[in-house]
Amino acid sequence: MGARKDRTALVTGGGSGIGKAVVLALAREGARVAVADLEVGSSGEAVYSGTKGAVIAFTKALAREVARHGIRVNAVAPGPTDTPLLHRLRQGHEGLFEAMVRATPMRRLAQPEEVAEAVVFLASPRAGFITGQVLSVSGGLTMC
């Protein structure tokens, strides 16, 4: 503990699943963690895709604006992850779920802790020259 002492992290969706794993990982390293957890439903893929695209554009634009001040801005884009939400969505859609796992080159779901470790890395001094990037933690499902 101590690598994140005197640092503050804002984690969205920190109440469960991936967000909770990120909160716990950062807290173990000594960070003060502010959690923003808003569960809102979306009306379809267009809204979901648009908001994710906006987060990526915002990440890149903000990173460029604040880099000269020593501030790094990155995003993590998790693929299918073994969370309670995914298990709720799986009910009644077993075939779709199995197809999603088969479509993932690593043939499994991510664990929330695996996504959390990517966030911890990007927040660490080891990633000191990384900014404006979107790290896909998807088992190869999305490759750029």
Task: Report all structural domains of the chain as residue ranges with CATH numbers, in order of start.
Answer: 44-137 (3.40.50.720)
pTM for this one?
Answer: 0.75
Using DSSP bridges, classify how beta strands 8-12 and 134-137 pair: parallel, antiparallel or unpaired: unpaired
The H or E element spanning position 90 is helix 84-90
Structure tokens at 73: 């801005």
Q: Mind listing the pLDDT tens digit for each residue in 88-108?
A: 888 888 888 888 899 999 999
Q: What is the pLDDT along the chain (144 residues), one digit of tens a residue?
A: 567 677 767 676 666 778 788 878 888 887 766 655 444 444 566 777 777 788 888 889 989 999 998 988 888 888 889 988 888 888 888 888 888 899 999 999 999 999 999 999 998 899 999 999 988 899 998 875
Active site residues: 48
Structure tokens at 128: 């000191």
Among candidate residues 88, 55, 100, the one with its CA nearest the CA of residue 74: 55
